[in-house]
């Protein structure tokens, strides 16, 4: 079974600085999708960024970018110019599209604190 590991239960960053959240996963598949979701205290799950495994180029969305290392099965999220509104739980998620399954497997999450 696929597993997703986030080894950092908590992280903190100073406002305007850069922080990297780690995620590793285990799979024997070659084609899959990876996601980072953000969950602020309001508990709404918000998509931050998405990466298709067949794409070698790392995904980028404004201040958010990923470092996707397929061979190492690593998918880290970099947040640049951190803002107070970035404070939230961040979940890494994996999806294996085999057989039409759209199941997301989530890591345990990293709580990010942004200090003013």
- Binds other proteins by CB under 8 A, chosen from 19, 21, 25, 37: 37
Task: Count, in order, helices (H) and strands (E) of the chain.
Answer: 0, 12
Query: Coil, strand, or helix at residue 103?
Result: coil
Segment interacting with other proteins (CB under 8 A) among 11-19, 21-29, 40-48, 76-84: 40-48
What are the residue ranges of helices labelled H in the chain? Answer: none
Measured from the CB of residue 101, what is the shortest distance to other proteins in angstroms? 9
Q: Does 98 bind other proteins (CB under 8 A)?
A: no
Q: 46-52 and 33-39 as β-strands: parallel, antiparallel, unpaired?
A: antiparallel
The only residue of 91, 96, 112, 114 in contact with other proteins, by rule CB under 8 A: 91
Per CB under 8 A, residues contacting other proteins are: 33, 35, 37, 42-47, 50, 91, 97, 100, 102-104, 106-109
């Amino acid at each position: 079974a696929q597993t997703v590991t986030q080894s950092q239960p908590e992280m903190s960053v100073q406002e305007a600085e850069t922080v990297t959240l780690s995620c590793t996963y285990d799979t024997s598949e070659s084609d899959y999708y990876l996601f980072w979701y953000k969950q602020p205290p309001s508990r709404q799950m918000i998509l931050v960024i998405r990466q298709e495994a067949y794409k070698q180029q790392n995904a980028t969305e404004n201040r958010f970018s990923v470092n996707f290392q397929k061979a190492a099965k690593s998918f880290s999220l970099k947040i640049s110019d951190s803002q107070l509104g970035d404070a939230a739980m961040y979940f890494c998620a994996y999806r294996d599209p085999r057989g039409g399954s759209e199941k997301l497997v989530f890591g345990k999450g990293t709580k990010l604190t942004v200090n003013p």
